[in-house]
Structure 1
Amino acid sequence: MRRASSQLVPLLSFAWLALVATPATAHHDPLSRSEWRVHRADGAVGATIVITGQDATTLAGLRDAPLPPQGAAGGARDEAIRALIQDAVTRGVRVTSGGGECQARPLRVTVRRSYEVGITWRCPKALGPVVIDLSFLASLPAEHRHTFNIDLGDGQGAGGGTRRDALLSPEQHRFEWDFSPTPGAPPSPRAERPDRVDVELVPSSPAPAPSVAQTLWLGARHIAGGLDHLLFIVALVLLSGRARTLLVLVSVFTVAHSLTLAAGVLGWVRLNAAIVEPLIAASLVLAGVDVALRARSAGDTGRFQRHTPALVFGFGLVHGLGLAGGLAELGLDGGALAMGLFGYNVGIELAQVAIAVPLFVLCQRISERRDYAVIVLRPASWVIGLCGVLWTVERVVS
């Protein structure tokens, strides 16, 4: 009875934590961006605002919106979604000049890997102190970050005007700049016009790429925020009776997921998230079985070493496709893609090391107990496998 209770308590505790801590939904990285350009002569401000599908769904309330059914004639459903997203973003951005309200004029919504919303504002008079308030960020999760880039339209920068960058968040979502004429400088050609100026689309250059530090943070957060990835790392630690074994398994996993991460981000491999996410969850089922095999061998590593590296490599290929989604949503290309991929992958590896090393040290100390397999390996194998089964079913159904 005592042995049974010693297994039941950790099993129930770990299972409760695993099931309530994080929903078993697909991974999402909280990052958006925007590119702004100012036309001083016209008193106009143009922007392209890029948000991911999940953020757009939250912002526009798409889950509760009365949308046309899937496959509706003429792409009615897609048009309705675009209209809701455009309206939500337009209402969620306020531009003022000299204290006067600038009127928004929505232009387009382009769907690529993310939603790109184009808007221009016409201001009531020549630009003075301008405040751009992206208030829609306040409705997104606290960890969300928004990379903001603006061309000030002064003709002083390479290929355009002086550029300014800012990293905004749900708590800090305003950008301010004083465009008032410098004393003694000649007025711009249309600075004296008192009437509103209606303008066409201000062409915008590609949205700004996040820095290496930002993509590094994004990769680390992707691991920390994904309970399925965390549980898989836990499984790797539990399968490793020695530091050398852990090094081999983590290296195999890293090589595998790095390959498919790069292939997914570069567009060489495209697999729908509806397939990838259930496969990631299913990998936990097999990982749980492998931990159970080690528990049966009472810590003897000889049996599992023959097949585990190959199994981990296969799992790594699947996990890499899931990890690729977070960076692919940003739509980077060229040098920005290379640097983003580097930072993102480094962030993932640092997060994995930060989790695996302390846990391995702790397990090594506990493994000195004769009942280590009973109180740790066996309950953990059940938790990992059970979570894998539940999440596989949930992701297939959803």
Structure 2
Amino acid sequence: MRIKTVLILITIVLFISSISYCTEPDISAQSAILMDTISGRVLFDYNSQEKLPMASTTKIMTALIGIENGNMDDIVKINKDSVGIEGSSIYLYEDEEISKKDLLYGLMLRSGNDSAVAIAKHIGGDVGSFIEMMNMRSKEIGALNTNFVNPHGLEDKNHYTTAYDLALITKEALKSKEFREIVSAKTWVANRDKNNYFYNKNKTLWQYDGGDGVKIGYTKSAGRCLVSSATRKGMQLIAVVLNDGNWFNDCYKLFDYGFDNYESIIVYDKGQFIKNLKIKDGNEEYLPVITEDICTLPLKEDEKEKIKVVIHLPDELEAPIIKNTKVGRIEVYLDGEMMYTTNLISKYEVKKINFFEKLLRSLDK
């Protein structure tokens, strides 16, 4: 009887542990999301579509536009309109000459509002034109519930986003090597005579194992806002919390939930062979079709057997066909919901044969 009692107790403990292991985190944010950086799969969602002010997390988009336009070593001459901007500052002074790279580090590590204006004027010619670039880029990314009216995030009723949109913007920005290097830097020494030491305000880099970004923000109306990222076991996650007094700890709870319950699985690799496609009037009768990109998905253990892959290809293609031409699509579904899609492309070039070559081929058959 005693052995049975012990076994029953062990079973109960294991059952309770398994429940807590999968329980979604209890957080205090007004809005939050946890997203996989590669696939964009949402692993946790709380009011993520609510439009809210985002304070200095605005600067993620400012940095992205700054990196995508011009060279990192561009020299920016500071005019008086970029000096003495309200709030956080890297203390730019009129007629100072500073590299765009140093401005970007000052923007993301020290949250310099003056740096944001200097980047905007350098890239856009004026702040208004830069704001147009920010809004256009956000729509391209799919952040449809976001509106920027400034490059730094100071309070304005028409300046807003959602946790979901911020995650999408961050997902896009993290594709950039330069962006990843900037937001993961704990410190930076700028090439200037004074105020040249930038210390990153994002404690995620120190406090969370695998923390590698991204940006903090605070204003009275927005509250404490944090977009953070972390990577473990080949899986990078983005956590966003808006108006959250427990901002860092809540992001860490979201990360723990994601890393504890999901595993990054390769559904198919980049360049993976899918099928030999019949070719009409080509110097080759068949053409190998391969995947254009890798597909990795964060999956729970019980989801791995529920993945379904659907391939869309024509019965045949007509030559000529250029190498790496899109010839079809591959879609990945989980419980009927499409999680990922990418192109299927031609592995080789196939040339069109002339009349005499076709005649010779028919005689050989």
Q: TM-score range, shorter-chain basis?
A: under 0.3
* Greater helix share, structure number: 1
Structure 1-normalised TM-score? 0.25
Structure 2-normalised TM-score? 0.27
* Greater strand share, structure number: 2
